[in-house]
Structure 1
């Protein structure tokens, strides 16, 4: 199969450096195998973290700044950064990408009780009518490891996780999709986030990003939140609570009470270099 014609790279984005950062050495084609491989490599190659928001600073979503932070530095980011970076890569490879805004509904009683604050992606392969939901920026154990086809009511296995998409009733004119993750411990399905297929543009996410990164009521401005994923485990630091979840579902929790301990964990286990002069556990 010949390489699919690619679209020009976004100004400031370097596909070679990005693929090297995530460790992807496979084909550079706009096909399903490349989409799955790049997505999984990104999830395991770049950590999730909110250190900028913890300092009440909305991170830049400019491709050059994302390259400097997530690719050329030992840093990560949150959903807008990760998924903007992935979108740049997929577009450079020749995929069609639509940015979507979702309502995070983990623990919510109603979909409508949460605002649209999460960025996710609808990805299309040239010549294939089946679009995919892709998302490398959901900082939770229920996150996608690989993209899944946009098909309702079908269970998908993405790496070592299980997901499905379902429709939910709502009062709007567009179909409401809900991403669900299978809870291995409870043995049932848990809602992760809800979205419609209405495209959102760069100015929309600049506003949402500023709100989440600076609002004192935002969860990301109140406590450190970092995630690292390998084939063997999911590692989450949520404030002082460190949770290790093994691939078989076993969970080990630990309290992190010392600043130096938190910085060492972020450095050695998450691959995150904390900026000089910043306190992680207390602001």
Structure 2
């Protein structure tokens, strides 16, 4: 995956990272956390009926140039470009979402990063119960606190399973294996997620931005803020939405092509 327009310095400026760049775990974790807190998970272009391009240069233009967010293919695609520029090895993995009542195809794109310490799951595009830092693949069945959430990797029938502790119960988020996946393999899933009437992304706004204290979530017209163990929820009026996107999700007003929930 190569983008002629990708510039590591511009990427670091977009995510607010000013530290030293090294091809090591500390840098990968820092970049991941800075990107999570700067680039929102969002589906505004899907709701506006705009095609979601998987061309790497289009992703750079959208997220860095226009300071937008995106969903898993765009957000993790951008992180893959940064890893390549940093000199860190990685591979895409195709993950099967597991929180739906019915079995789903492997439509989620995540990354496995190879470092001197081993292989790590990195995922910046899974929304609310997404991990906040890399998870080591060879540490299984061990709860890992991240911010005020707790995650765990297990293995079942040849797949790694990412689980999150939700209201005192371990809930499976998605499963994946290390079979080689190419970028082009996500094209059908991207088309389905951005056009199918039953896909969650085509139905209502879904926007998530992580903070040092927790996360902000807009789902439909419901706005939730999580700060530590404090959770506040409210319904937002259509007249508030554009300003909400600017203040809480870092999106520019002239980029907020917003369509209300169906």
Q: TM-score, normalised by structure 1?
A: 0.86
Equivalent position to 2:71, from 72, 75, 78: 78
Deviation at 1:227, TM superposition (A): 0.7
Equivalent pairs, count: 261
Q: Residues 191-250 of structure 1, C-alpha deviation per residue, up to 9 Å, x if partnerless?
A: 111111112112111221122111222110111111111112311111111111122x22
- Residue 266 (structure 1) aligned with residue 245 (structure 2): yes
CA contact (8 A) 1:58 1:209 kept: no
Residue 45 of structure 2 is matched in structure 1 by 52
Offset, 1:274: 5.6
Q: Tell me, in whole angstroms, the C-alpha distance in 1 between the residues paired with 2:258 and 2:169.
A: 38
1:120 partner SS: strand
Q: Could you say if the C-alpha distance between residues 223 and 159 of structure 1 is closer, same or farther in structure 2, counting changes exceeding 3 Å? A: same
Instruction: Output aligned runs, 1:1-283, within 5 Å.
Output: 10-108=3-101, 113-125=103-115, 128=116, 130-140=118-128, 142-151=129-138, 152-169=140-157, 175-183=158-166, 186-247=167-228, 249-256=229-236, 258-273=237-252, 278-282=257-261
Distance (Å, rounded) in 2 between the aligned partners of 1:274 and 1:215: 28
The separation in 1 between residues aligned to 2:89 and 2:42, in whole angstroms, is 27
Asked if 1 retains the 8 angstrom alpha-carbon contact of 2:95 and 2:176, the reply is yes
C-alpha distance in 1 between matches for 2:71 and 2:200: 12
Checking the alignment, whether the CA contact within 8 Å between 2:203 and 2:261 is kept in structure 1 is: no
What secondary structure is seen at the aligned counterpart in 2 of 1:210? helix
C-alpha separation between the residues in 1 aligned to 2:39 and 2:185? 25
Report the aligned-residue RMSD. 2.0
Misfit runs of 4+, over 6 Å: none
Q: CA deviation at 1:72?
A: 2.1
Structure 1 gap segments, 5+ residues each:
1-7, 170-174
Aligned partners of 1:99 and 1:121 also within 8 Å: yes
Q: For the structure 1 residues 106 and 275, does the alpha-carbon distance in structure 2 shift closer, same or farther, using more than 3 Å as the test?
A: farther
Measured after TM superposition, the shift of residue 27 of structure 1 is: 2.1
- With over 3 angstroms needed to count, the CA separation of the structure-2 counterparts of 1:275 and 1:221, relative to structure 1, is farther
For 1:134 and 1:276, the matched residues in 2 are separated by 28
How far apart, CA to CA, are the structure 2 residues paired with 1:9 and 1:279?
A: 30
Contact 1:9–1:15 (CA<8 Å) still a contact in 2? no
Give 3-state SS (helix, strand or coil) of 1:46's partner. coil
Deviation at 1:158, TM superposition (A): 3.1
| Rounded Cα–Cα distance in structure 1 between residues aligned with 2:118 and 2:67 | 36
TM-score (norm 2): 0.92
Q: CA deviation at 1:116?
A: 1.0
